[in-house]
Amino acid sequence: MRFLSDWSLEAVDTDRLVLNAGDRKVVVFVFGETLFRIFVHRHDTPRPTRTWSIDPDGTLAWEGRERLSGEGFTPPAWRLTEHEDGISVESERLKLVIARPFKLTWYARTDGEWTPIAEDRPTGGVAVARRGNGVEHYLRRYDDERYYGLGEKSGDLERSGRRFEMRTLDAMGYRAETTDPLYKHVPFTITRRSDGLAYGLFYDNLATSRIDLGNELDNYHAPYRAFRAEDGDLDLWFLLGERVLDVVKEFTRLTGGVAFGPKWSFGYSGSTMHYTDAPNAQERLGEFIALCREHDIPCDSFQLSSGYSSIGDKRYVFTWNRDKVPDPAAMVRTFREAGMHLIANIKPCLLTDHPAYGDAAEKRLFVTDSDTGDAEVSPFWDANGSHLDFTRQATVDWWKGNVDEKLLALGIDSTWNDNNEFEIEDREARLDGFGDPLPASVAKPVLSLLMVRASQEAQIAHAPSRRPFLITRSGGPGLQRYAQTWSGDNRTEWPTLRYNQRMGLGLALSGISNVGHDVGGFSGPRPDPELFVRWVQNGVMHPRFTIHSWNDDGTVNEPWMYPEVLDAVRDAIRLRYRLLPYLYTVAWRAHAELEPMIRPTFLDHEDDPATFEENDEFLLGEELLVATVVEPGARTRQLHLPDNGCGWYAFEGGAWLAGGRQLVVDAPLEHLPLFVRAGGIVATSDRLAHVDPAQDDVRALRVYPFVESGSRTVLLFDDDGESTLGEGGGTLVTHVTLSCDANAIRLDWQHEGDYRPAYQGFRIELPTGDSRPLYVNGCKVAPGESCPL
C-alpha cells in the first residue's frame, strides 16, 4: 500500500471538484449542507463502475447507479478556497480542508464558528494498493468519541475498542456476544462526540473489509481508527448531524428509505424447520393451525422452511416434495381460512443435481468461474451448487417466473429470501453486471439485494393492488427498502437474548429497523421455560415477531411448548395484538418520516448522559420504553428511566415515575416492564385475533397526560392494511393534540384522508388517580367513554 501525498486541483463543477493525485483521481462531491462525499479511483475507471447502495429518490435502476452520478441530490451553495498548503470546500454548515500532503480535516459550524470534528491520521490517511486492488483509510481516534452502527454486529451497542469484519457469512448457531462476521454487510459508523455533535461515515464498498475502532495500537502513530477493504475504491460519504437521529435518518434516506409492509406482517408469525422436514409435513402444518385454536393463540402467518422443497435430505428451490406436501394449494387454502398467510423459503443457489440445473447452466444464469467461464461451483448445504447471477437480466426473469408459477400461483403470499449470503469460493468469479462484468470480490452482497428485488417485483406483478412483504437474511446497505430482516440462526442461551437486542439496535442505527430475532433461539438446546417466556416478552416488542427453531433434541419452540408458562406466553402475544395499531403507526412513520422503529434510549434523550451507558432497555417508537428481563431467576428489573423533562408512566396501572434516575421495578415471570412517556398516546385494539380490518371495530387511545402542563401532537395512521399505499380504501392520518394544565386534560384531533375504519370512534383511557376533567374536541367526557371520529 502507499499513501496519497501530492495532488493538484484539476477541475471544478456545480456539485464537485476533481483532484489529480498521481495514478488516482479524487472527486469531492457537495451533495448537501451536511452531506459530502470523497471518491478516490483510478484514472481509467472506478472499481466497480456502479453502486447499488445509494438510492436517495427511489429510482435506482436494476443496472445500479453510476459512481460519478450526482442524480437525486440538489447541491447547496458552496465555496472553494485555495490557500498555500491546500484547499477548503465549504457549505453553510460543513467544511472540508484538504491539505498537502493529502490529508482530510472536517469542520462543523457551531455558534458561528468552525469546530474541527474529524481528521485523517497525520501519519497517513488514504492508502491505495501499489499493485492489484485494495484501499485503506485511517482517521484520528479520540477517547471522548463513541462509535455506533455497522449494522448487525455482536457485543455491545457502542463499538469502541473492537475490530469487525464485513464478509457475509452463514453463521449457524452464532453467539450474539462475540461471533463475527455475520450475515450482513453495512460499513457505516456513527461517531458521537462529547460536545454532542454526531457524524456518519459510510464506506460504499462491498468487498471484504475490516473496520478497526481502537482495537489496534501502533506506537508509530497517534491513536487511530481504520477501514481496510481488500478490493474496490475508497467511496466515503460524510453525514453531519446535530444529533445521532439526524445522521440515522439521512443515511436511511441515502440508501433508499424503508418498505412499508401489510398489517398482517406485524402479527405473530409461526415457523419451525421440524414441520416442513417431517415426512407428513402437510399434516403437521395443519396441526399448527389446530393448536393455535386450541390454545387461543392469535397468528397471522406461517413461514415455510425449506423442507417443503426437499428431495431426500437436500433442498431444491422451486420444487415441491409431493410426498410431504401432497396438495400445496389445499394447504394454502387451509391456512387462509384460518386467517394466516404463508411465507415460502427460497434460496439463490441450485445444487448441481437440481432438476433445473442443466437448463439454467445452458442459459448461463449462474455466476461464472473466473478460469473456465462455466458456472462457478461452491459448497451449499453439504453439497455443491451454483449461485444465480442476479446482475443478469435472464436470471432475474427466470427467478420472477419461478416465484410466480411455483409459489404465488398456489396462493403463497410472500417470500422468505434465505441463505443469501452467497459463499462464492472463487473471489474473481464473474458477475454479468447487466453487460458490464464485475468480479464477485467487489459486489457479492449486490446479489442478495437484487435477489430480494426480483422477488419483490414478482409479488407486485402477481398482485399489483397489494403491498408486498418480503423477508431477507442477508444484504448490504439498502436492504430495508425491500424487506424485513432478522438476525439469523442464533444460539439458545441467555446472553443471546441480551445481545440480540443490542444487535437489532445496531441495525436500527444503520437504517434497518424492521427487524427481529428467532424467539427462543434457533440452534442448540431448547430454551427452558423461564428463558422462553422472557424471550417471547422481548420478541413481541420488536417489529418482527417469529418463534423459529431447530433444536438439537428435535423439539419445537412454540407458544404451548411448556404448559406451566402458557398463560404468560399467551398474555405477551395478546399484548402485541393489543398494540398492533401503535406498531402499525410506528412502521408507517419509518416509511414516511424515516423514524427508526426500535431505538436505543439515547436516540431521543441525548441530554441524559446515562442513556449512553450500555443498558438493556430500548424504545419501540417514541412512546414505549421496553425493559425486558434478560437474566435468569430475576423477578425485579433495575433500569434507568431517561430524563425527558416530564416523566414516565407504567404502561399498566398508570403510576407516574420521575425520569433521569435508576429504579428497580417488580418483574414476576408473567410481567414485562413497559413504560410510556408522559405526554404519550398509545392506540390499542380490543381484537385479539388475526388481522382483519373489517372486524377491528374498537379502538382505544391510552392517554398518559403531563402531570403539570404541556402540549404535544401525536400521529395515528390507519388504512385497510393491505392495499398499495394510498390506494384501495385510502389512508387515514389522525393528528391528536394533548394539552394539559392544572385544571384540565384536553384532546383535540383532526383527520386527513378518506379511509373509513370499522371503528367509529376512540375510547379514551387515562391512568387511574388523575382527577382532572377531560375534554375531547371541546366537549367534556368521562374516562372510558368513546368519542366519535
Sheet holding 16-21, edge to edge: 8-12, 16-21, 24-32, 35-42, 234-241, 198-203, 188-192, 146-149
Q: What is the mean pLDDT of residues 531-536?
A: 98
Q: Are residues 671 and 636 in the same domain?
A: yes
Q: Are residues 668 and 687 in the same domain?
A: no
d(CA 170, CA 672): 32
In this structure, what C-alpha cell is assigned to residue 430? 464473474
pLDDT of residue 512: 98
Q: Are residues 653 and 720 in the same domain?
A: no
d(CA 197, CA 272): 45
Q: Are residues 686 and 666 in the same domain?
A: no
Q: Are residues 657 and 630 in the same domain?
A: yes
Among 637, 658, 677, residue at a domain's last position: 677
d(CA 695, CA 700): 15
What whole-number percentage of the chain has pLDDT above 70?
Answer: 100
Range of the domain at 765: 680-788
Q: Are residues 670 and 709 in the same domain?
A: no
pLDDT of residue 43: 87
Residue with cell 384540565: 744
- For residue 295, is it within any domain? no
- For residue 760, is it within any domain? yes
Among 616, 646, 677, residue at a domain's last position: 677
Q: Are residues 697 and 650 in the same domain?
A: no
- For residue 745, is it within any domain? yes
- For residue 555, is it within any domain? no
Q: What is the mean pLDDT of residues 552-580?
A: 97
Q: What is the mean pLDDT of residues 635-649?
A: 98
Q: Is the pLDDT of residue 31 over 90?
A: yes
Distances (CA, A) of 141 to 222, 247, 298: 8, 19, 50
pLDDT of residue 637: 98
User: Quick one: pLDDT band at residue 434, thresholds 50, 70, 90?
Assistant: very high
pLDDT digit string (tens) for 59-105? Answer: 999 999 999 999 999 999 999 999 999 999 999 999 999 999 999 99
Q: What is the mean pLDDT of residues 704-723?
A: 97
Can you give the CATH number for the domain in which 779 is found?
2.60.40
- Element holding 533 (H helix, E strand): helix 529-539
Q: Are residues 694 and 783 in the same domain?
A: yes
Q: Is the pLDDT of residue 653 over 90?
A: no
Strands (E), 360-494: 378-380, 383-387, 414-417, 430-431, 438-439, 470-472, 484-486
Q: Is the pLDDT of residue 381 over 90?
A: no
Q: Are residues 738 and 764 in the same domain?
A: yes
d(CA 96, CA 104): 7
**How many structural domains is the chain composed of?**
2
113 alpha carbon, distance to own chain's centre:
36
pLDDT digit string (tens) for 735-785? Answer: 999 999 999 999 999 999 999 999 999 999 999 889 999 999 999 999 999
Can you give the CATH number for the domain in which 632 is found?
2.60.40.1180
Among 652, 677, 702, residue at a domain's last position: 677
pTM: 0.98
SS (H, E, C) 735-757: EEEEEECCCCEEEEEEEECCCCC
Residue with cell 394449494: 329
Q: What is the mean pLDDT of residues 430-459?
A: 97
Q: Is the pLDDT of residue 569 over 90?
A: yes
Residue with cell 384532546: 747
pLDDT of residue 44: 84
Is residue 307 classed as helix, strand or coil in its secondary structure? helix
Calculated CA dihedral for residues 591, 594, 597, 599, nearest 10 degrees: 180
Q: Are residues 694 and 735 in the same domain?
A: yes
Sheet holding 745-752, edge to edge: 710-719, 731-740, 745-752, 774-776, 779-781
d(CA 755, CA 75): 38
pLDDT digit string (tens) for 180-220? Answer: 999 999 999 999 999 999 999 999 999 999 999 999 999 99
- For residue 673, is it within any domain? yes
pLDDT digit string (tens) for 160-169? Answer: 999 999 999 9
| Residue of 128, 123, 208, 114 whose CA lies nearest to 167 | 208
Which sign, positive or negative, has the C-alpha torsion 513, 518, 523, 525? positive
What's the maximum distance between 2 C-alpha atoms anywhere in the chain? Answer: 82
- For residue 275, is it within any domain? no
356 burial via Cβ count (<10 Å: 0-12, 13-18, 19+): middle
pLDDT digit string (tens) for 338-348? Answer: 999 999 999 99
d(CA 675, CA 601): 12
- For residue 697, is it within any domain? yes
pLDDT of residue 132: 86
Under the phi-then-psi rule, with left for phi > 0, alpha for psi from -120 to 50, and beta for the rest, what region is 275?
A: alpha
What whole-number percentage of the chain has pLDDT above 90?
Answer: 98
User: Quick one: pLDDT band at residue 316, thresholds 50, 70, 90?
Assistant: very high
pLDDT of residue 769: 85
- The Cβ of residue 502 has, within 10 Å, a number of other Cβ atoms equal to 22
d(CA 166, CA 510): 14
d(CA 175, CA 34): 37
Exposure b/e, 629-661, CB count within 10 A at least 16 = b: bbeeeeeebebbbbbbebbbbbbeebebeebbe
Q: Are residues 690 and 659 in the same domain?
A: no
- For residue 49, is it within any domain? no
| Residue of 51, 52, 185 whose CA lies nearest to 454 | 52
Q: Are residues 691 and 761 in the same domain?
A: yes
Calculated CA dihedral for residues 550, 555, 557, 563, nearest 10 degrees: -170
728 burial via Cβ count (<10 Å: 0-12, 13-18, 19+): middle
Residues 412 and 343 sit within 8 Å (Cβ to Cβ): yes
| Bridge partners, 1 (sequence order) | none
